[in-house]
Structure 1
Amino acid sequence: MSLQKKIDFAVVFKVENANPNGDPLGGNRPRADFEELGEVSDVCLKRKIRNRLLDSGESIFVQSDDYKNDDAKSLKDRADKVEALKKEKDKEKYASIACKTWFDVRAFGQIFAFKGKKEDSGSGVSIGIRGPVSIQTAFSKEPVEIISTQITKSVNAESTETGKKSSDTMGTKHRVKHAVYVFYGAMNPQLAEKTSFSDDDAQKIKAVLPRLFENDESSARPAGSMEILKVIWWQHNSKLGQYSSAKVHKSLEVDNNGEIKISELKDLKPEIIEGY
Protein backbone atom coordinates (compact mmCIF):
# COMPACT_ATOMS: atom_id res chain seq x y z
CA MET A 1 0.00 0.00 0.00
CA SER A 2 1.36 3.43 -0.94
CA LEU A 3 1.89 6.42 1.36
CA GLN A 4 -1.40 7.23 3.11
CA LYS A 5 -0.71 10.66 4.63
CA LYS A 6 1.11 13.74 3.43
CA ILE A 7 4.42 14.38 5.22
CA ASP A 8 6.50 17.54 5.55
CA PHE A 9 9.90 17.65 7.21
CA ALA A 10 12.84 19.93 7.97
CA VAL A 11 16.45 19.23 8.92
CA VAL A 12 18.68 21.61 10.89
CA PHE A 13 22.42 20.95 10.78
CA LYS A 14 25.67 22.61 11.82
CA VAL A 15 28.96 22.97 9.96
CA GLU A 16 32.26 23.59 11.78
CA ASN A 17 35.40 24.08 9.69
CA ALA A 18 34.21 21.98 6.77
CA ASN A 19 33.23 22.32 3.13
CA PRO A 20 29.64 20.99 3.06
CA ASN A 21 29.23 21.24 -0.73
CA GLY A 22 31.97 22.52 -2.99
CA ASP A 23 31.19 24.32 -6.25
CA PRO A 24 33.20 22.70 -9.11
CA LEU A 25 32.80 25.88 -11.19
CA GLY A 26 34.16 28.00 -8.35
CA GLY A 27 37.39 26.22 -7.50
CA ASN A 28 35.50 23.93 -5.10
CA ARG A 29 34.71 26.82 -2.77
CA PRO A 30 31.69 26.17 -0.51
CA ARG A 31 28.54 27.15 -2.36
CA ALA A 32 27.02 30.52 -1.46
CA ASP A 33 24.39 32.78 -3.03
CA PHE A 34 24.74 36.49 -3.87
CA GLU A 35 23.90 37.39 -0.26
CA GLU A 36 26.75 35.11 0.94
CA LEU A 37 24.32 32.64 2.50
CA GLY A 38 25.80 29.16 2.38
CA GLU A 39 24.13 26.57 0.15
CA VAL A 40 24.04 22.79 -0.01
CA SER A 41 22.33 21.58 -3.17
CA ASP A 42 19.37 19.21 -3.16
CA VAL A 43 21.43 16.82 -5.33
CA CYS A 44 24.14 16.71 -2.66
CA LEU A 45 21.58 16.05 0.08
CA LYS A 46 19.88 13.27 -1.88
CA ARG A 47 23.32 11.72 -2.47
CA LYS A 48 23.82 11.52 1.29
CA ILE A 49 20.33 10.08 1.84
CA ARG A 50 21.05 7.44 -0.79
CA ASN A 51 24.35 6.55 0.91
CA ARG A 52 22.73 6.15 4.31
CA LEU A 53 20.02 3.97 2.77
CA LEU A 54 22.80 1.88 1.20
CA ASP A 55 24.30 1.53 4.68
CA SER A 56 20.90 0.22 5.82
CA GLY A 57 20.85 -2.44 3.12
CA GLU A 58 18.44 -0.79 0.69
CA SER A 59 18.77 -1.26 -3.07
CA ILE A 60 19.88 2.03 -4.66
CA PHE A 61 20.04 2.77 -8.40
CA VAL A 62 22.05 6.03 -8.47
CA GLN A 63 25.28 5.12 -6.68
CA SER A 64 28.53 7.09 -6.72
CA ASP A 65 31.78 5.42 -7.85
CA ASP A 66 33.39 5.87 -4.43
CA TYR A 67 30.37 4.59 -2.48
CA LYS A 68 28.65 1.62 -4.09
CA ASN A 69 27.89 -2.00 -3.28
CA ASP A 70 28.03 -3.62 -6.71
CA ASP A 71 30.32 -3.87 -9.73
CA ALA A 72 28.13 -1.93 -12.17
CA LYS A 73 30.20 0.42 -14.33
CA SER A 74 27.30 2.76 -15.18
CA LEU A 75 23.60 3.31 -14.58
CA LYS A 76 22.85 1.49 -17.84
CA ASP A 77 24.98 -1.42 -16.73
CA ARG A 78 23.13 -1.54 -13.41
CA ALA A 79 19.74 -1.51 -15.15
CA ASP A 80 20.84 -4.17 -17.67
CA LYS A 81 21.72 -6.55 -14.83
CA VAL A 82 17.99 -6.78 -13.98
CA GLU A 83 16.68 -9.48 -16.30
CA ALA A 84 13.05 -8.40 -15.95
CA LEU A 85 13.94 -4.93 -17.26
CA LYS A 86 15.93 -6.25 -20.23
CA LYS A 87 12.95 -8.28 -21.42
CA GLU A 88 10.22 -5.71 -20.73
CA LYS A 89 8.87 -3.81 -23.75
CA ASP A 90 5.96 -2.03 -22.07
CA LYS A 91 6.80 1.41 -20.67
CA GLU A 92 4.44 1.31 -17.69
CA LYS A 93 5.51 -2.19 -16.67
CA TYR A 94 9.17 -1.18 -17.06
CA ALA A 95 8.64 1.79 -14.72
CA SER A 96 6.80 -0.41 -12.21
CA ILE A 97 9.65 -2.95 -12.12
CA ALA A 98 12.24 -0.19 -11.69
CA CYS A 99 10.29 1.30 -8.77
CA LYS A 100 10.01 -2.06 -7.05
CA THR A 101 13.70 -2.81 -7.62
CA TRP A 102 15.28 0.41 -6.36
CA PHE A 103 14.34 2.50 -3.33
CA ASP A 104 15.63 5.81 -4.70
CA VAL A 105 13.71 5.40 -7.97
CA ARG A 106 10.35 5.10 -6.20
CA ALA A 107 11.34 7.89 -3.79
CA PHE A 108 13.06 10.54 -5.96
CA GLY A 109 12.16 9.40 -9.47
CA GLN A 110 14.47 8.72 -12.41
CA ILE A 111 14.73 8.90 -16.20
CA PHE A 112 15.44 5.67 -18.07
CA ALA A 113 16.41 5.20 -21.70
CA PHE A 114 13.85 2.81 -23.14
CA LYS A 115 13.50 0.72 -26.30
CA GLY A 116 9.95 -0.38 -26.89
CA LYS A 117 8.49 -2.67 -29.49
CA LYS A 118 9.61 -1.98 -33.06
CA GLU A 119 6.06 -1.35 -34.16
CA ASP A 120 5.44 1.18 -31.38
CA SER A 121 5.71 4.85 -32.31
CA GLY A 122 7.20 5.50 -28.86
CA SER A 123 10.14 3.17 -29.44
CA GLY A 124 13.48 4.61 -28.37
CA VAL A 125 12.09 7.26 -26.01
CA SER A 126 12.87 7.89 -22.36
CA ILE A 127 10.74 6.89 -19.40
CA GLY A 128 10.33 9.63 -16.83
CA ILE A 129 9.39 8.57 -13.31
CA ARG A 130 8.34 11.43 -11.04
CA GLY A 131 9.14 10.68 -7.40
CA PRO A 132 6.97 11.66 -4.42
CA VAL A 133 9.86 12.81 -2.20
CA SER A 134 11.11 16.34 -2.84
CA ILE A 135 14.17 17.91 -1.19
CA GLN A 136 14.96 21.63 -1.21
CA THR A 137 18.38 23.26 -1.25
CA ALA A 138 19.78 23.93 2.24
CA PHE A 139 20.63 27.53 3.16
CA SER A 140 22.61 28.90 6.10
CA LYS A 141 20.87 31.18 8.59
CA GLU A 142 23.49 33.91 8.21
CA PRO A 143 26.25 34.79 5.72
CA VAL A 144 29.08 32.29 5.87
CA GLU A 145 32.74 33.05 6.50
CA ILE A 146 34.84 31.07 4.04
CA ILE A 147 38.47 30.44 4.95
CA SER A 148 40.91 29.50 2.19
CA THR A 149 44.25 27.81 2.88
CA GLN A 150 47.12 27.10 0.49
CA ILE A 151 48.09 23.42 0.49
CA THR A 152 50.50 21.05 -1.23
CA LYS A 153 48.41 18.72 -3.36
CA SER A 154 51.16 16.21 -4.12
CA VAL A 155 54.66 15.32 -2.95
CA ASN A 156 57.75 15.36 -5.15
CA ALA A 157 57.78 12.52 -7.65
CA GLU A 158 60.86 11.41 -9.53
CA SER A 159 60.53 11.78 -13.28
CA THR A 160 61.52 8.60 -15.12
CA GLU A 161 62.41 10.60 -18.22
CA THR A 162 64.82 13.16 -16.74
CA GLY A 163 65.77 11.50 -13.49
CA LYS A 164 64.91 14.73 -11.70
CA LYS A 165 62.24 15.38 -9.12
CA SER A 166 59.18 17.29 -10.27
CA SER A 167 57.99 20.33 -8.34
CA ASP A 168 55.19 20.13 -5.81
CA THR A 169 51.67 20.84 -7.01
CA MET A 170 50.08 23.61 -5.00
CA GLY A 171 46.39 24.12 -4.42
CA THR A 172 43.80 25.79 -2.21
CA LYS A 173 41.50 24.22 0.36
CA HIS A 174 38.32 26.01 1.45
CA ARG A 175 36.09 25.63 4.48
CA VAL A 176 33.14 27.26 6.21
CA LYS A 177 34.23 28.39 9.68
CA HIS A 178 30.83 28.00 11.37
CA ALA A 179 27.25 27.98 10.13
CA VAL A 180 23.80 26.55 10.80
CA TYR A 181 21.87 25.34 7.75
CA VAL A 182 18.26 24.28 7.21
CA PHE A 183 16.63 22.30 4.43
CA TYR A 184 13.01 21.27 3.89
CA GLY A 185 11.30 18.36 2.20
CA ALA A 186 7.91 16.82 1.55
CA MET A 187 6.31 13.49 0.61
CA ASN A 188 3.36 13.50 -1.79
CA PRO A 189 0.86 10.60 -1.44
CA GLN A 190 -0.64 11.17 -4.90
CA LEU A 191 2.73 10.65 -6.60
CA ALA A 192 3.50 7.81 -4.18
CA GLU A 193 0.58 5.86 -5.67
CA LYS A 194 2.36 5.83 -9.04
CA THR A 195 5.71 4.60 -7.70
CA SER A 196 4.45 2.41 -4.82
CA PHE A 197 6.36 4.50 -2.28
CA SER A 198 4.96 3.26 1.05
CA ASP A 199 4.57 4.35 4.65
CA ASP A 200 7.40 1.96 5.47
CA ASP A 201 9.62 3.68 2.91
CA ALA A 202 8.83 7.05 4.51
CA GLN A 203 9.86 5.69 7.90
CA LYS A 204 13.18 4.50 6.45
CA ILE A 205 13.98 8.01 5.23
CA LYS A 206 12.90 9.37 8.61
CA ALA A 207 15.33 6.95 10.27
CA VAL A 208 18.38 8.01 8.20
CA LEU A 209 17.89 11.79 8.35
CA PRO A 210 19.23 12.14 11.96
CA ARG A 211 22.48 10.40 10.91
CA LEU A 212 22.85 11.95 7.47
CA PHE A 213 26.55 12.76 7.88
CA GLU A 214 27.71 9.52 9.49
CA ASN A 215 30.12 7.55 7.26
CA ASP A 216 30.44 10.71 5.15
CA GLU A 217 33.87 11.82 6.34
CA SER A 218 36.47 13.17 3.95
CA SER A 219 39.36 15.62 3.89
CA ALA A 220 36.84 18.38 3.15
CA ARG A 221 34.44 17.16 5.86
CA PRO A 222 36.43 15.70 8.78
CA ALA A 223 34.60 13.44 11.23
CA GLY A 224 32.46 15.53 13.57
CA SER A 225 32.57 18.69 11.44
CA MET A 226 29.02 18.14 10.11
CA GLU A 227 26.28 17.53 12.67
CA ILE A 228 22.52 17.06 12.46
CA LEU A 229 20.93 19.10 15.23
CA LYS A 230 17.21 18.48 14.73
CA VAL A 231 14.81 16.73 12.37
CA ILE A 232 11.27 18.12 12.45
CA TRP A 233 8.61 15.77 11.08
CA TRP A 234 5.01 16.76 10.35
CA GLN A 235 2.57 13.98 9.44
CA HIS A 236 -0.80 15.24 8.22
CA ASN A 237 -4.09 13.42 8.84
CA SER A 238 -4.92 12.79 5.15
CA LYS A 239 -3.40 12.45 1.70
CA LEU A 240 -4.14 16.09 0.88
CA GLY A 241 -2.96 17.36 4.26
CA GLN A 242 -4.44 20.08 6.48
CA TYR A 243 -2.01 22.77 5.32
CA SER A 244 0.21 23.60 2.37
CA SER A 245 3.86 22.66 2.62
CA ALA A 246 4.73 26.36 2.40
CA LYS A 247 2.69 27.17 5.51
CA VAL A 248 4.11 24.18 7.40
CA HIS A 249 7.71 25.05 6.55
CA LYS A 250 7.19 28.70 7.47
CA SER A 251 5.97 27.66 10.92
CA LEU A 252 9.59 26.74 11.77
CA GLU A 253 12.01 29.43 12.91
CA VAL A 254 15.70 28.64 13.37
CA ASP A 255 18.20 31.04 14.92
CA ASN A 256 21.91 31.35 14.18
CA ASN A 257 22.78 28.89 16.97
CA GLY A 258 20.42 26.18 15.72
CA GLU A 259 17.73 26.74 18.33
CA ILE A 260 14.24 26.23 16.94
CA LYS A 261 10.80 27.71 17.53
CA ILE A 262 7.69 26.23 15.93
CA SER A 263 4.43 28.13 15.53
CA GLU A 264 1.40 26.02 16.41
CA LEU A 265 -0.78 24.73 13.58
CA LYS A 266 -4.17 23.38 14.64
CA ASP A 267 -4.37 19.56 14.57
CA LEU A 268 -0.84 19.23 13.18
CA LYS A 269 1.72 18.46 15.87
CA PRO A 270 5.38 18.14 14.80
CA GLU A 271 7.67 15.39 16.00
CA ILE A 272 11.11 16.73 16.96
CA ILE A 273 13.96 14.24 16.58
CA GLU A 274 17.45 14.86 17.93
CA GLY A 275 20.45 14.31 15.69
CA TYR A 276 22.32 11.03 15.94
Structure 2
Amino acid sequence: MSTLSNKIDFVLLVSVNMANPNGDPLNGNMPRTDYNGFGEISDVCIKRKIRNRMQDMGHDIFVQSADRCSDSYDSLSSRARDVLKNVSSKDRDKYVAAACEKWLDVRSFGQLFAFKAKDKDASGDSVSVRGPVSIHQAVSVSPVEVHSMQITKSVNSEPGEKKSSDTMGMKHYVRYGLYVVKGAINVQLAEKTGFSEEDSNVIKECLRTLFINDASSARPDGSMEVEKLYWWKHNCKDGQCSSAKVHRSVHVTQKTEVDTPSSIDDYVITIDEIDGLKPEILSGC
Protein backbone atom coordinates (compact mmCIF):
# COMPACT_ATOMS: atom_id res chain seq x y z
CA MET A 1 0.00 0.00 0.00
CA SER A 2 1.21 3.53 -0.81
CA THR A 3 1.30 6.09 1.99
CA LEU A 4 -1.00 9.05 1.50
CA SER A 5 0.82 11.87 -0.29
CA ASN A 6 -1.92 14.45 -0.90
CA LYS A 7 -3.88 16.38 1.71
CA ILE A 8 -7.63 15.71 1.69
CA ASP A 9 -10.56 17.82 2.88
CA PHE A 10 -14.19 16.79 2.96
CA VAL A 11 -17.67 18.09 3.75
CA LEU A 12 -20.65 15.79 4.35
CA LEU A 13 -24.33 16.81 4.28
CA VAL A 14 -26.56 14.62 6.44
CA SER A 15 -30.34 14.83 6.72
CA VAL A 16 -32.29 13.72 9.80
CA ASN A 17 -36.02 13.03 9.58
CA MET A 18 -38.02 12.06 12.66
CA ALA A 19 -34.96 10.62 14.44
CA ASN A 20 -32.57 11.29 17.31
CA PRO A 21 -29.16 11.59 15.63
CA ASN A 22 -27.14 11.84 18.85
CA GLY A 23 -28.77 11.83 22.27
CA ASP A 24 -27.25 13.72 25.20
CA PRO A 25 -27.02 11.40 28.26
CA LEU A 26 -26.79 14.42 30.57
CA ASN A 27 -30.09 15.78 29.24
CA GLY A 28 -32.40 12.79 29.28
CA ASN A 29 -31.05 11.58 25.91
CA MET A 30 -32.56 14.59 24.15
CA PRO A 31 -31.08 15.35 20.71
CA ARG A 32 -28.05 17.58 21.17
CA THR A 33 -28.63 21.28 20.49
CA ASP A 34 -26.80 24.49 21.28
CA TYR A 35 -28.31 27.49 23.09
CA ASN A 36 -29.62 28.87 19.79
CA GLY A 37 -31.46 25.69 18.86
CA PHE A 38 -29.05 24.40 16.22
CA GLY A 39 -28.66 20.63 16.23
CA GLU A 40 -25.32 18.99 16.97
CA ILE A 41 -23.79 15.56 16.45
CA SER A 42 -20.53 14.90 18.30
CA ASP A 43 -17.38 13.92 16.45
CA VAL A 44 -17.20 10.83 18.70
CA CYS A 45 -20.62 9.72 17.43
CA ILE A 46 -19.55 10.18 13.81
CA LYS A 47 -16.30 8.25 14.36
CA ARG A 48 -18.28 5.42 15.97
CA LYS A 49 -20.37 5.10 12.82
CA ILE A 50 -17.26 5.18 10.64
CA ARG A 51 -15.68 2.43 12.74
CA ASN A 52 -18.84 0.33 12.37
CA ARG A 53 -18.67 0.73 8.60
CA MET A 54 -14.99 -0.26 8.68
CA GLN A 55 -16.01 -3.47 10.42
CA ASP A 56 -18.78 -4.09 7.89
CA MET A 57 -16.17 -3.78 5.12
CA GLY A 58 -13.97 -6.42 6.75
CA HIS A 59 -11.32 -4.27 8.42
CA ASP A 60 -9.91 -4.87 11.91
CA ILE A 61 -10.64 -2.06 14.37
CA PHE A 62 -9.49 -1.53 17.93
CA VAL A 63 -12.41 0.42 19.46
CA GLN A 64 -15.33 -1.98 19.06
CA SER A 65 -18.80 -1.43 20.50
CA ALA A 66 -20.15 -4.18 22.77
CA ASP A 67 -22.96 -5.17 20.40
CA ARG A 68 -20.57 -5.39 17.43
CA CYS A 69 -17.60 -7.11 19.06
CA SER A 70 -15.95 -9.39 16.50
CA ASP A 71 -13.47 -11.07 18.86
CA SER A 72 -13.44 -12.52 22.37
CA TYR A 73 -12.04 -9.48 24.20
CA ASP A 74 -14.23 -7.70 26.71
CA SER A 75 -12.15 -4.52 27.01
CA LEU A 76 -9.69 -2.36 25.13
CA SER A 77 -6.90 -3.22 27.54
CA SER A 78 -7.36 -6.98 27.09
CA ARG A 79 -7.46 -6.58 23.31
CA ALA A 80 -4.27 -4.52 23.26
CA ARG A 81 -2.52 -6.73 25.81
CA ASP A 82 -3.18 -9.95 23.91
CA VAL A 83 -2.89 -8.82 20.28
CA LEU A 84 0.29 -6.83 20.95
CA LYS A 85 1.75 -9.24 23.51
CA ASN A 86 4.96 -9.67 21.50
CA VAL A 87 5.70 -5.93 21.53
CA SER A 88 6.74 -4.07 24.68
CA SER A 89 5.03 -0.76 25.37
CA LYS A 90 8.41 0.51 26.55
CA ASP A 91 9.50 0.52 22.91
CA ARG A 92 7.05 3.19 21.84
CA ASP A 93 7.91 3.27 18.13
CA LYS A 94 7.53 -0.47 17.65
CA TYR A 95 4.35 -0.51 19.70
CA VAL A 96 2.77 2.30 17.67
CA ALA A 97 3.84 0.67 14.39
CA ALA A 98 2.32 -2.67 15.39
CA ALA A 99 -0.95 -1.10 16.56
CA CYS A 100 -1.30 1.00 13.39
CA GLU A 101 -0.55 -1.98 11.15
CA LYS A 102 -3.17 -4.11 12.91
CA TRP A 103 -6.08 -1.68 13.35
CA LEU A 104 -7.43 0.69 10.71
CA ASP A 105 -9.16 2.99 13.20
CA VAL A 106 -5.89 3.47 15.11
CA ARG A 107 -3.94 4.56 12.05
CA SER A 108 -6.91 6.73 11.01
CA PHE A 109 -8.03 8.48 14.22
CA GLY A 110 -5.18 7.71 16.59
CA GLN A 111 -5.54 6.15 20.02
CA LEU A 112 -4.36 6.43 23.61
CA PHE A 113 -3.05 3.16 25.03
CA ALA A 114 -2.98 3.51 28.81
CA PHE A 115 -1.21 0.96 31.00
CA LYS A 116 -1.13 0.19 34.69
CA ALA A 117 2.28 -0.22 36.28
CA LYS A 118 1.45 -3.81 37.24
CA ASP A 119 0.92 -4.81 33.59
CA LYS A 120 3.61 -7.03 32.14
CA ASP A 121 6.33 -5.07 30.32
CA ALA A 122 4.53 -1.81 31.17
CA SER A 123 6.02 1.08 33.07
CA GLY A 124 2.72 2.68 34.00
CA ASP A 125 3.10 5.28 31.25
CA SER A 126 0.82 5.58 28.24
CA VAL A 127 1.44 5.35 24.50
CA SER A 128 -0.45 7.83 22.33
CA VAL A 129 -0.98 7.80 18.58
CA ARG A 130 -2.01 10.92 16.67
CA GLY A 131 -4.17 10.01 13.71
CA PRO A 132 -4.37 11.89 10.40
CA VAL A 133 -8.17 11.91 10.09
CA SER A 134 -9.82 14.76 11.98
CA ILE A 135 -13.58 15.34 12.10
CA HIS A 136 -15.52 18.33 13.44
CA GLN A 137 -18.75 17.95 15.33
CA ALA A 138 -21.72 18.28 12.98
CA VAL A 139 -23.99 21.34 13.22
CA SER A 140 -27.37 21.81 11.57
CA VAL A 141 -27.80 24.55 8.97
CA SER A 142 -31.03 25.79 10.60
CA PRO A 143 -32.38 25.50 14.16
CA VAL A 144 -34.12 22.14 14.66
CA GLU A 145 -37.49 21.31 16.20
CA VAL A 146 -37.12 18.74 18.97
CA HIS A 147 -40.25 16.77 19.86
CA SER A 148 -40.93 14.26 22.61
CA MET A 149 -43.46 11.49 23.05
CA GLN A 150 -44.38 9.39 26.05
CA ILE A 151 -43.72 5.65 25.76
CA THR A 152 -45.94 3.14 27.58
CA LYS A 153 -46.25 -0.63 27.83
CA SER A 154 -49.45 -2.62 27.41
CA VAL A 155 -48.22 -6.14 28.19
CA ASN A 156 -47.22 -8.01 31.33
CA SER A 157 -43.53 -7.95 32.19
CA GLU A 158 -43.86 -10.86 34.63
CA PRO A 159 -46.33 -13.78 34.93
CA GLY A 160 -49.38 -12.98 37.00
CA GLU A 161 -49.10 -9.22 36.63
CA LYS A 162 -52.23 -7.27 35.91
CA LYS A 163 -52.11 -5.94 32.36
CA SER A 164 -51.71 -2.17 32.39
CA SER A 165 -50.41 0.77 30.40
CA ASP A 166 -47.60 1.99 32.60
CA THR A 167 -45.39 4.90 31.62
CA MET A 168 -41.94 3.69 30.61
CA GLY A 169 -40.28 6.91 29.59
CA MET A 170 -39.91 9.49 26.86
CA LYS A 171 -38.72 9.31 23.29
CA HIS A 172 -37.17 12.38 21.66
CA TYR A 173 -36.56 13.15 18.03
CA VAL A 174 -35.70 15.89 15.54
CA ARG A 175 -38.54 16.54 13.10
CA TYR A 176 -36.10 17.53 10.34
CA GLY A 177 -32.55 18.78 10.22
CA LEU A 178 -29.77 19.15 7.66
CA TYR A 179 -26.36 18.76 9.30
CA VAL A 180 -22.91 19.65 7.98
CA VAL A 181 -19.91 17.45 8.86
CA LYS A 182 -16.41 18.78 8.11
CA GLY A 183 -13.10 16.96 8.17
CA ALA A 184 -9.60 16.60 6.80
CA ILE A 185 -6.78 14.08 6.38
CA ASN A 186 -3.28 15.26 7.25
CA VAL A 187 -0.38 13.81 5.23
CA GLN A 188 2.36 14.37 7.85
CA LEU A 189 0.41 12.34 10.42
CA ALA A 190 -0.50 9.75 7.78
CA GLU A 191 3.20 9.16 7.22
CA LYS A 192 3.68 8.43 10.92
CA THR A 193 0.80 5.94 11.20
CA GLY A 194 1.14 4.34 7.77
CA PHE A 195 -2.26 5.61 6.64
CA SER A 196 -2.43 4.88 2.91
CA GLU A 197 -4.19 6.01 -0.26
CA GLU A 198 -6.26 2.85 0.01
CA ASP A 199 -7.21 3.77 3.59
CA SER A 200 -8.39 7.20 2.43
CA ASN A 201 -10.69 5.49 -0.06
CA VAL A 202 -12.09 3.39 2.78
CA ILE A 203 -12.81 6.56 4.77
CA LYS A 204 -14.52 8.05 1.72
CA GLU A 205 -16.74 5.00 1.28
CA CYS A 206 -17.51 4.86 5.02
CA LEU A 207 -18.69 8.48 4.90
CA ARG A 208 -20.75 7.92 1.76
CA THR A 209 -22.50 4.90 3.33
CA LEU A 210 -22.44 6.15 6.92
CA PHE A 211 -25.90 4.96 7.98
CA ILE A 212 -25.94 1.46 6.50
CA ASN A 213 -26.57 -1.04 9.34
CA ASP A 214 -27.04 1.86 11.78
CA ALA A 215 -30.78 1.49 12.42
CA SER A 216 -32.15 1.58 15.97
CA SER A 217 -35.38 2.57 17.71
CA ALA A 218 -34.04 6.14 17.87
CA ARG A 219 -32.88 6.07 14.22
CA PRO A 220 -35.18 3.89 12.10
CA ASP A 221 -33.95 2.84 8.67
CA GLY A 222 -34.33 5.74 6.26
CA SER A 223 -34.54 8.41 8.95
CA MET A 224 -30.91 9.46 8.52
CA GLU A 225 -29.35 9.88 5.10
CA VAL A 226 -26.11 11.06 3.54
CA GLU A 227 -27.20 13.62 0.97
CA LYS A 228 -23.85 14.72 -0.48
CA LEU A 229 -20.16 14.11 0.11
CA TYR A 230 -17.71 16.76 -1.16
CA TRP A 231 -14.16 15.40 -1.37
CA TRP A 232 -11.15 17.60 -2.20
CA LYS A 233 -7.78 16.03 -2.97
CA HIS A 234 -4.98 18.61 -3.00
CA ASN A 235 -1.94 18.36 -5.30
CA CYS A 236 0.59 18.49 -2.45
CA LYS A 237 1.21 17.42 1.13
CA ASP A 238 0.37 20.69 2.87
CA GLY A 239 -2.59 21.56 0.67
CA GLN A 240 -3.13 24.31 -1.87
CA CYS A 241 -5.03 26.29 0.78
CA SER A 242 -6.21 25.87 4.35
CA SER A 243 -8.90 23.41 5.38
CA ALA A 244 -10.91 26.34 6.73
CA LYS A 245 -11.02 27.97 3.29
CA VAL A 246 -12.05 24.70 1.65
CA HIS A 247 -14.79 24.07 4.20
CA ARG A 248 -16.08 27.64 3.82
CA SER A 249 -16.39 27.17 0.08
CA VAL A 250 -19.56 25.11 0.60
CA HIS A 251 -22.57 27.34 1.25
CA VAL A 252 -25.87 25.81 2.40
CA THR A 253 -28.60 28.42 2.78
CA GLN A 254 -32.24 28.03 3.70
CA LYS A 255 -34.56 29.36 0.99
CA THR A 256 -36.14 32.68 1.94
CA GLU A 257 -39.67 31.49 1.19
CA VAL A 258 -39.32 28.47 3.49
CA ASP A 259 -40.36 28.91 7.14
CA THR A 260 -39.70 25.40 8.41
CA PRO A 261 -37.39 23.17 6.31
CA SER A 262 -38.59 19.60 5.74
CA SER A 263 -36.12 18.38 3.11
CA ILE A 264 -32.84 19.24 1.42
CA ASP A 265 -34.90 20.82 -1.37
CA ASP A 266 -35.63 23.68 1.04
CA TYR A 267 -31.96 24.73 0.85
CA VAL A 268 -29.74 26.29 -1.78
CA ILE A 269 -26.29 24.70 -2.04
CA THR A 270 -23.43 26.49 -3.80
CA ILE A 271 -19.67 25.93 -3.94
CA ASP A 272 -17.05 28.64 -4.39
CA GLU A 273 -14.40 27.88 -6.98
CA ILE A 274 -10.85 27.46 -5.68
CA ASP A 275 -8.08 27.75 -8.28
CA GLY A 276 -6.71 24.33 -9.15
CA LEU A 277 -8.84 22.50 -6.59
CA LYS A 278 -12.13 20.93 -7.60
CA PRO A 279 -14.18 18.61 -5.36
CA GLU A 280 -15.38 15.15 -6.22
CA ILE A 281 -19.12 15.23 -5.47
CA LEU A 282 -20.71 11.94 -4.40
CA SER A 283 -24.28 11.07 -3.51
CA GLY A 284 -24.93 9.10 -0.37
CA CYS A 285 -26.13 5.52 -0.17
Matches within 5 A, 1:53-202: 53-85=54-86, 87=88, 89-114=90-115, 123-152=123-152, 155-158=155-158, 164-165=161-162, 168-202=166-200
CA distance in 2, matches of 1:98, 1:4: 21
2:208 to 204, 207, 210: 210
CA RMSD of aligned residues (A): 2.2
CA displacement at 1:254 relative to structure 2 = 1.5
Alpha-carbon contact 1:49-1:205 (below 8 Å) kept: yes
Query: Could you tell me the TM-score, scaled by structure 1's length?
Result: 0.92
Larger mean Cα displacement after TM superposition, 248-257 or 208-217: 248-257
Is 2:252–2:268's contact at 8 Å kept on the other side of the alignment?
A: yes
Contact 1:89 1:115 in 2 (8 A): no
Query: Is the 1:2–1:193 Cα contact (8 Å) retained in structure 2?
Result: yes
What SS does structure 2 have at the residue aligned with 1:151? Answer: strand
SS of match in other structure, 1:66: helix
Deviation digits for residues 199-218 of structure 1 (CA, Å, limit 9, x no counterpart): 11001111121110010000
Q: Which runs of 5+ in 2 are unaligned?
A: 255-263
- Is the 2:150–2:167 Cα contact (8 Å) retained in structure 1? no
Match of 1:273 among 268, 274, 282: 282
Q: Deviations over 1:178-233 (max 9, x none)?
A: 11111100000011111111111001111121110010000000000001000000
Query: Which residue is 2:258 aligned to?
Result: none
SS of 2:147's partner is strand
| Distance in 1 (alpha carbons) for counterparts of 2:13 and 2:161 | 52
CA change 1:239–1:29 in 2 (3 A) is: same
For 2:261, the equivalent position in structure 1 comes to none
CA–CA distance in structure 1, aligned partners of residues 89 and 22 of structure 2: 39
Residues 154 and 169, structure 1, Cα contact 8 Å, conserved in 2: no
Residue 174 of structure 1 aligns with an amino acid whose one-letter code is: H
Shift of residue 157, structure 1, vs aligned partner: 2.5
Given the superposition, is the C-alpha separation of residues 85 and 246 from structure 1 closer, same or farther in structure 2, using an over 3 Å criterion? farther
Q: Which residue of 2 aligns with 1:236?
A: 234
- The residue type equivalent to 1:192 in the other structure is A
Instruction: Return the offset for 1:252.
Output: 0.5
| In structure 1, distance between residues paired with 2:153 and 2:28 | 14
What amino acid is aligned across from residue 39 of structure 2 in structure 1? G
Q: CA deviation at 1:156?
A: 3.1
List structure 1 segments (4+ residues) > 4 angstroms apart after TM superposition: 83-88, 163-167
Residue of 235, 254, 270 corresponding to 1:261: 270
The letter of the residue matching 2:248 is: K
| Secondary structure at 1:192 match in 2 | helix
1:158 shift after superposition:
3.2
SS in 1 for 2:192: helix
Shift in alpha-carbon separation, 1:83–1:46, aligned structure 2, 3 A: closer
